[in-house]
Structure 1
Amino acid sequence: MNTAVSFQGYARQDGRKGIRNVLVVAYLVECAHHVSRKIVTLANDMDVHLIGFPGCYPNQYAYEMMRAVSTHPNVGGALLISLGCESMNRDKLLKEIRASGRPAELLVIQEAGGTKATIEAGLAAVARIKVEADKTPRVPMALSELIVGTICGGSDGTSGISANPAVGRCFDALVEANATCIFEETGELIGCETIMADRAITPELGEQIEACVAKAEHYYRVMGFGSFAPGNADGGLTTMEEKSMGAYSKSGSSPISGLIKPGDIPPTGGLYLLDVVPDGEPRFGFPNISDNAEIIELIACGSHVILFTTGRGSVVGSAISPVIKVCANPETYRRLSEDMDVNAGRILEGEATLDEVGAEILQNVIDVASGKRSVSEELGHQEFILTYKSFEPIGPSCLPVRQIA
Structure 2
Amino acid sequence: MNEVVNMRTSEHTWNGFKRLDGRIGIRNKLLVIYTVECSHFVADEIVRRMNCSEVEVVGFQGCTDNEYAVRLLIALIRHPNVGAVLTVGLGCEYVQPEWLCRIAREEGKPGAWMFIQNEGGTEKAIEKGLGYCRDMMEQLKQVPVVPMGFSDLVVGAECGGSDFTSGLAGNVVVGRFFDRLVDQGGTAIFEEIVEAVGLLDSLLDRAATDRAREEIRYTYHKALDYCKSVRQYSVSPGNFAGGLSTIEEKSMGAVVKSGSRPIEGVLKVGGRPGHPGLWLLDSTPDPHWMQFGITNPNDNEGLTDLISCGCHLTFLVTGAGNVVGSAVAPVIKITGNSSTFLRMKDDMDFDAGAVLRGECSLDELAGRLAGLAGRVAGGEMTRSEALGHKEYYIPYKYQDKNVGVKRVCDQIEGEV
TM-score, structure 2 length as denominator? 0.93
Aligned partner of residue 333 in structure 2, secondary structure:
strand
Q: In structure 2, do the counterparts of structure 1 residues 178 and 153 end up closer, same or farther at CA, with 3 Å as the change threshold?
A: same
Aligned partner of residue 346 in structure 1, secondary structure:
helix
2:159 aligned to which of 146, 152, 160: 152
Check whether the contact 1:194–1:210 (CA below 8 A) recurs between aligned residues.
Answer: no
Shift of 1:3: 5.2
Q: Output aligned runs, 1:187-198, within 5 Å.
A: 187-198=194-205
Query: 2:372 aligns to what?
Result: 364
Query: 1:336 aligns to what?
Result: 344
2 CA distance for matches of 1:53 and 1:309?
Answer: 26
Query: 1:58 aligns to what?
Result: 65
The residue identity in structure 1 corresponding to 2:393 is: I
1:69 aligned to which of 65, 71, 76: 76
Query: 1:105 aligns to what?
Result: 112
Q: Output aligned runs, 1:309-388, within 5 Å.
A: 309-388=317-396
Query: 1:84 aligns to what?
Result: 91
Shift of 1:347: 1.7
Shift of 1:279: 1.3
Q: Output aligned runs, 1:3-402, within 5 Å.
A: 4-280=11-287, 283-394=291-402
1 CA distance for matches of 2:13 and 2:275?
Answer: 18
Shift of 1:42: 1.1
Shift of 1:100: 0.3
Percent identical pairs in the alignment equals 43
Count of aligned positions: 399
Shift of 1:284: 2.3
The residue identity in structure 1 corresponding to 2:361 is: T
2 CA distance for matches of 1:152 and 1:49?
Answer: 24
Query: 2:5 aligns to what?
Result: none
Shift of 1:149: 0.3
Query: 1:402 aligns to what?
Result: none
2 CA distance for matches of 1:261 and 1:398?
Answer: 15
- Post-superposition Cα deviations, 1:352-378, rounded to whole Å, max 9, x if no partner, equal 222221111111111111111111111
Check whether the contact 1:3–1:177 (CA below 8 A) recurs between aligned residues.
Answer: no
Query: 1:2 aligns to what?
Result: 9
Check whether the contact 2:30–2:85 (CA below 8 A) recurs between aligned residues.
Answer: yes
4+ long deviations beyond 6 Å: 396-399
Shift of 1:255: 0.9
- Post-superposition Cα deviations, 1:154-198, rounded to whole Å, max 9, x if no partner, equal 111111101101100000000000100000011111111210110
Aligned partner of residue 345 in structure 2, secondary structure:
helix
Check whether the contact 2:215–2:265 (CA below 8 A) recurs between aligned residues.
Answer: no
1 CA distance for matches of 2:401 and 2:317?
Answer: 30
Moved more, 358-367 or 161-170: 358-367
The residue identity in structure 2 corresponding to 1:204 is: R
Check whether the contact 2:97–2:114 (CA below 8 A) recurs between aligned residues.
Answer: no
2 CA distance for matches of 1:21 and 1:287?
Answer: 30
Shift of 1:345: 1.3
Moved more, 363-372 or 237-246: 363-372
- Post-superposition Cα deviations, 1:206-231, rounded to whole Å, max 9, x if no partner, equal 12212211111111111111111221
Shift of 1:280: 1.4
- Post-superposition Cα deviations, 1:218-258, rounded to whole Å, max 9, x if no partner, equal 11111111111221111111100011111101001111111
Check whether the contact 1:197–1:203 (CA below 8 A) recurs between aligned residues.
Answer: no
1 CA distance for matches of 2:301 and 2:200?
Answer: 23
Shift of 1:391: 1.8
Aligned partner of residue 338 in structure 1, secondary structure:
coil
2 CA distance for matches of 1:93 and 1:207?
Answer: 34
Aligned partner of residue 334 in structure 1, secondary structure:
helix
Aligned partner of residue 25 in structure 1, secondary structure:
strand
Unmatched tracts of structure 2, length 5 or more: 1-7, 411-416
2 CA distance for matches of 1:89 and 1:34?
Answer: 17
- Post-superposition Cα deviations, 1:128-173, rounded to whole Å, max 9, x if no partner, equal 1111122101012232111000010111111110110110000000
2 CA distance for matches of 1:278 and 1:177?
Answer: 33
TM-score, structure 1 length as denominator? 0.96
